[in-house]
Structure 1
Amino acid sequence: MASEPVEEEYISDIGPPDFREMLPPVIKKNYGKWKYHEVLKPGVLVHVAESGDKVYTVRAGEPRLMSTQSIRQICELADKYCDGYIRFTTRNNIEFLLTDESKIDDLIKEVEELGYPVGGTWDATKAKYSLSNIVHTQGWIHCHTPAIDASGVVKSIMDALFDHFKNMDLPGLCRISLACCLNMCGAVHASDISLVGVHRTPPVPDDDAIRRTCEIPSTVSGCPTGALRPDMKRKTIIVDESKCMYCGNCYTMCPGMPCFDPENGGVAILAGGKISDARAPARLSKVIVPWLPNNPPRWPEVVDVIKAILETWAA
């Protein structure tokens, strides 16, 4: 007689792995029992536990988008110096976690040979701060509604501000963020200095593409300001330019509503944003430069303004 099949419990979603499985042993051992930390030099920190154990952190800036080859190179350094432990921060930095202080200088040398600058730290007890790395959205490489690029603009700005990342020479924390369009998937509007790509012209309906690829009622209802209305006789869409706020949501709904204009699209600069409520309430950034030209590949006008703002504040 055949045995009855045993039904195994089906798990549809196990969720993310437990973060504790990925902690270095010294951090797992001293979790929640840290006594203090110090900044040894720009880009290098030490955390000291109540037990006397020490963890050294070497922070290096990296681009937001990386190739698998670059990630493998970084992981090889982590295997060589950090027993395989590494972390990536939300502001596009790499942090190597070591327990052997004697390996720090050799690690820094190899990291910088790969092209990643070590820095981006600060010491509030001495009022010495580095510029943190810039966070940004997708830009031309992936986003479908960008008014500007993201990676290219950030690269150009950081090239001009590179010394402020390497050295702790600023009077306070300063965070710079960039969004390539007004949808701001990077939520940059609460940063110290913000760059936002802005469209300044309404979408131009491509009647043939709308007829072939778009669902007109869904596209019309997707406009947040009611700037679209259907033209059922011609089977297309009409734009009320007086109501359009250039968000590009109609292009998300319908490929026949392109909103790109290389002459009129540009960059707005905002400043004064703050996320935390420490010492003062959180607040949104305010526009200080409403428009600068979209001028690749180095965006000189944008770079000059950002550099002037930062260095005037730091003086």
Structure 2
Amino acid sequence: MVAVDIDLIGVPAWVIDVGERGDLRFAALNRANMEVTGLRAQHATGRCLHECLPPDVADHVAARYTECIEKRSLHEYDEMLEIPGHERWWRTTLTPVIDQSTGRVTRIVGVAVEITERKQLEYELADAAFRDPLTGVANRRRLAIAVDDAMSEAVYTNKTFGLIVADLDGFKAVNDTLGHTKGDDVLRHIASLLSLAARDNETVSRIGGDEFAMLVRASSHLELATKVTMLRHSLDRSMSVSDVETTVGVSVGAGLWLPAQTFEDLLSVADMEMYHQKARRRSAAASSAPLHDEAA
């Protein structure tokens, strides 16, 4: 085997000796490892893990080394470690060194590459996949997942929930008279009002152009109706958006989840009630409009 000076490796590297009884001791640490962990080779070399590391950290890494020994092959994994002063993500590669005469793993060579920025980007991309880019609230896909989770919880806890749908009335007129930029401001304002009304275990979502939905915790039709009334009072009024006073009506419908209903079933119930309310509002507006003299 060709010997390699691990100090020539520019990322944290180390060597672990594996005793015949499975005891694990540091055999070598490179400079990059010492800079990251604060360990010193002169102190750690020849010592077991629990003499050099906090008990919980020693238990954790010992379990990883044991997995490598049992696999008897390359072992890679990602993990977040609390390094002095920082929490960082690392991709660790463990390579077992096998004694050809006995077949026993005698050493483990470890190398770690920091991947914190990559992990952060992965989280941001995953978050973007479930978030409405305009308003910042959940999108339809994320709402469907939240409803599925609530259905699973309800099966075991008997705690039911409801879905509220809110659709803006007259929103096209806002876009036509004030412009799409002001229209976007209105949508963001509505989303913020819904978010303020939501509890920690409730989900606000934009599911269409000017349509929002809200997963709410409600144990009865009465409790759900109370929440619907509260939202109507909060949303269906004049608002000042970007220093412009405007009035946007909101039609609201809701459905209380029943066993065997799917997300689409529940959404259809709430949508149907919302459209019934929208029709009633239009009928009321038409009947209250002033009559014009046909001779005028």
Same-fold call, TM cutoff 0.5: no
More helix by share: 2
Q: Tell me the TM-score normalized by structure 1.
A: 0.28
- Whichever of the two has the greater Rg, that structure is 2
